[in-house]
Amino acid sequence: MSYSTLTDAAAPRDPKRPPAPIPPHEQPGSTPGLRDYWTFFLNARRNLISAFTDIAYEQPFVKRKLRGAETWVVSEPEAIKRILLDNAGNYVKSQQQKRRLEPALGQSLLLADGEAWRWQRRTTAPAFQHKKIVGFAPLMVAAAEDMLARWDKEALPERNIAREMMGLAYDVLSRTVFGRAAPLAADRMGKAIDLYLDTAGRMDLAAMLNLPIWVPTLGRLRARPALNWFKAEIGGAIRERRAELARGIGSDSGDLLTMLLTATDPETGRPMDDQLVYDNALTFIVAGHETTANALAWTLFLLSEFPWAEARVSQELAQVLGGRTPGADDVARLTYTRQVLDEAMRLYPPAPFAGREAIEDDVLAGAPVKAGTQILVSAYILHRHRRLWEEPDLFDPERFAPGRREAIHRFAYIPFSAGPRICIGMAFAIQEAILLLATILQRYRLTLRPGHVVEPHATITLRPRGGLPMKLERRQ
């Protein structure tokens, strides 16, 4: 079955293939041996997206057996719907995901399951309501304006745009999470998150062998300084804000930290203790800044690779904004810019893998799944699946044109996941990405340094390995 949209004869595809590893070939029906697993492990450690063989991109699911436990890579939209929505309670966050993130993010919304997750979701949901997010728009644009003022002043001919976008997305979160409090030092924070993702985030043998979470790995030991830094900085901001609130100051300041400190479960009235406030504040920063920064970096890279798309975005910005500062109302009007963003997140989903574990036996895509099975839902594989997309490796924003995006199966395109555990920051991130792109692209044209080879590299997020050196040209 194919869920993809039909080809639009009026919009010829650009045959240039944006960079992505070619999956190694695997003979369908063959049984992988120890050597294949070892090759998989080495490839996964180097770059998780280069480890999966071509059959993962062709079959509804692929099964692997390791230490007696089965792992399934599922890429069939109806089966994904069952995992993420219809029978979501049966598929809890996997030990692998917990092992990598729990040392930093504790029992936050991202990692908790069952009732421990449900009450946190209920309690934090009001902070991400439409009205709240619209209220953040001026802060988002101000962060971009400050970055552009720095670019104007320094007038460098070239910048590492991947790093710039990290700094910018981090600045947006500093302003929205911490509000009036002095934002945490962006450089230090960026370095701490980098260190954490490069160490604890990497595929390690312990994770692959599903060793219990308490087994210390080299990666986790190396990540410890980053964790200590998070604790000191964010813990300090929390203590400061608690003290202010106790003195009756700033309860209406509208930032996410104040919301976490004052929110109560609408059903039970339970507030969050300092540890949970810490876990969630750090989760918002880690889950919200890397991902959005990568979405922006990949979009800017693709616009540089495909000048016809860049010309159309510029035209749209001129028509809709005419040079003025964008606001929340403009997000829905910038439809082509949104199509390019959506296509960038299809080719380069910022969060390329989600792991789950089946609690009880179930049936997926007509096949029985045993309790304890590890489930991998990969937006990266799904978004490039041969059965679901026409020319899946090519860049084509027309897939998301109004009237055509509706033909895409809801569970075939999941950059923000889906179902009850859909990214709580989705609307925040989309508004942010469109406003930042509009602000940057009205002022600058960006082109990749000629000859620079871009390689998508996956750990927990999907980044351009070695950054994105881009030439900056100030528009008149």
Query: Tokens 């690779």 belong to which residue?
Result: 305
Interaction with ligand HEM in 325-364: which residues (CB under 6 A)?
350-351, 354
CB of 283 to ligand HEM, least distance (A): 5
**Any contact of residue 175 with ligand HEM (CB under 6 A)?**
no
Specify the residue, 408 or 472, whose C-beta has the smaller distance to ligand HEM: 408
Specify the residue, 53 or 399, whose C-beta has the smaller distance to ligand HEM: 399
Contact segment (CB under 6 A) with ligand HEM among 9-17, 134-142, 236-244, 425-433 equals 425-433
Q: Which residues contact 162 (CB under 8 A, 6 or more apart)?
A: 293, 294, 297, 463, 464, 467, 468
Specify the residue, 53 or 349, whose C-beta has the smaller distance to ligand HEM: 349
Contact segment (CB under 6 A) with ligand HEM among 146-154, 223-231, 287-295, 395-403 equals 287-295
For residue 456, which phi and psi values (nearest 5 degrees)? -70, 130
CB of 198 to ligand HEM, least distance (A): 19
Please, what is the Cα angle at 133 between 129 and 139, to 5 degrees?
A: 160
Contact segment (CB under 6 A) with ligand HEM among 39-47, 265-273, 285-293, 330-338 equals 285-293
Residue of minimal CB distance from ligand HEM? 425
Distance, in Å, from the CA atom of 272 to the CA atom of 399, rounded to the nearest integer, reads: 43
362-364 and 367-369 beta bridge pairing: antiparallel
| Options 119, 336, 400, 428; binder of ligand HEM; rule CB under 6 A | 428
Contact segment (CB under 6 A) with ligand HEM among 37-45, 66-74, 308-316, 418-426 equals 418-426
Report which DSSP code applies to 271.
B
What does the CA dihedral 31, 37, 40, 41 come to, rounded to 10 degrees?
A: 160
| Options 45, 121, 386, 445; binder of ligand HEM; rule CB under 6 A | 121
Let me know: does 277 contact 261? Beta carbons within 8 Å.
yes
| Options 291, 337, 378, 459; binder of ligand HEM; rule CB under 6 A | 291
Specify the residue, 55 or 427, whose C-beta has the smaller distance to ligand HEM: 427
| Options 283, 299, 442, 459; binder of ligand HEM; rule CB under 6 A | 283
**Any contact of residue 415 with ligand HEM (CB under 6 A)?**
yes
374-378 and 69-74 beta bridge pairing: parallel
Let me know: does 465 contact 455? Beta carbons within 8 Å.
yes
Tokens of 435: 């406003």
Distance, in Å, from the CA atom of 336 to the CA atom of 333, rounded to the nearest integer, reads: 9
Tokens of 178: 């911490």
The secondary structure element, H or E, covering residue 2 is: none
Distance, in Å, from the CA atom of 434 to the CA atom of 442, rounded to the nearest integer, reads: 12
**Any contact of residue 136 with ligand HEM (CB under 6 A)?**
no
Residues at the interface with ligand HEM (CB under 6 A)? 109-110, 121, 283-284, 287-288, 291-292, 295, 350-351, 354, 415-417, 421, 423-425, 428-429
